[in-house]
């Protein structure tokens, strides 16, 4: 069994057990030199249309603990020829940027997970296929699950 890191919206960490080899994983290429392949296997749900997946990709680096930081980067959605399966790829992360608030001059550095602002948005929840993400070595892939109620709310006509 393999453990996959799950980043919860409350800032808590949890772990989810997943099988090591998803049956559809054979269609996906191994990571090339200098890259890592992350595989997220989602459990089957009764109504998967009520959930979505947010990719949270970044790196843990020392920061001042006062400012908000982020990396630039572009994630592309690619398709495996002949299979039609999608995967996501971040070829490189840009330089770290952040706010410029003054903090205490003698404040110690704090290891902080700094995300990449990639703009991919929420992805469809699909337990039938693995969610595969290729990133440079040293970059971490986390995810957050979003859910909604099945009840629809009618909009007003004006």
Q: Does 152 map to a domain? A: no
Q: In angstroms, how far is CA 122 from the centroid of its own chain?
A: 10
Is 153 inside a domain boundary? no
Across-strand partners of 35?
136
- Domain span including residue 54: 2-147
pLDDT per residue over 53-111, tens digit each? Answer: 999 999 999 999 899 999 999 999 999 999 999 999 999 999 999 999 988 888 899 99
Least confident residue range of 3-7, 18-22, 54-58, 113-117 = 3-7
Q: Does any domain span residue 101?
A: yes
Note whether residue 156 is domain-resident: no
In this structure, what token pair is assigned to residue 97?
């940027």
- How many distinct structural domains can be found in the chain? 1
Q: Is residue 134 part of a domain?
A: yes
Question: Is 36 a domain residue?
Answer: yes
**CATH number for 95:** 2.60.40.550
Tokens read off for 36: 């890592």
Distance set, CA 104 to CA 56, 65, 67, 122 (Å): 29, 10, 12, 37
Q: Are strands 140-147 and 110-117 parallel, antiparallel or unpaired?
A: unpaired
């Amino acid at each position: 069994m393999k453990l996959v890191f799950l980043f919860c919206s409350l800032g808590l960490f949890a772990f989810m057990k997943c099988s090591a080899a998803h049956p559809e994983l054979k269609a996906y290429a191994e990571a090339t030199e200098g890259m890592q392949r992350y595989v997220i296997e989602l459990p089957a749900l009764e109504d998967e249309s009520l959930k979505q997946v947010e990719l949270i990709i970044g790196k843990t680096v020392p920061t001042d603990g006062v400012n908000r930081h982020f990396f630039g980067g572009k994630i592309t959605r690619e398709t495996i020829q002949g299979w039609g399966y999608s995967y996501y790829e971040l070829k490189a992360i840009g330089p770290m940027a952040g706010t410029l608030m003054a903090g205490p001059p003698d404040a110690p550095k704090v290891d902080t997970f700094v995300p990449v602002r990639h703009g991919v948005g929420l992805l469809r929840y699909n337990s039938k296929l693995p969610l595969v993400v290729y990133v440079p070595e040293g970059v971490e892939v986390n995810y957050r699950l979003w859910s909604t109620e099945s009840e629809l709310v009618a909009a007003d006509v004006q």
